Amino acid sequence: MSSLRGSRLSNFQIRSEGWKVLTERLGISGAMRFMMQYDPGYGDYAKERAELLEGLTLDEAIQRLRATRRHRRAKKG
């Protein structure tokens, strides 16, 4: 399917074609397993990220990452 043809399809047609391709390539159970991995999530990621990182400098972020890595290594070993 060319991108031009794809842009002319309705959302329903896109879903139908997508399901057809998935089942042809993966079989019914493989297509279902693939679809079950899709999780749209919830909340407002951009807002949460802005709140979480507000005022955080790059140096502080790097320090936190390094501390987290050290902590994980200590737990393993």
User: Is 0.95 topped by the overall pTM?
Assistant: no
Q: Do 22 and 34 form a contact (C-beta atoms < 8 A)?
A: yes
Q: What tokens does 2 get?
A: 């060319």
Q: How many structural domains comprise the chain?
A: 1
Range of the domain at 43: 3-76
Q: What tokens does 38 get?
A: 């899709």
* pLDDT one digit per residue (tens) for the chain, 77 residues: 445 465 789 999 999 999 999 999 999 999 999 999 988 888 898 999 999 899 999 999 999 999 999 999 998 87
Listed residue (5, 33, 29) closest to 17, CA to CA: 5
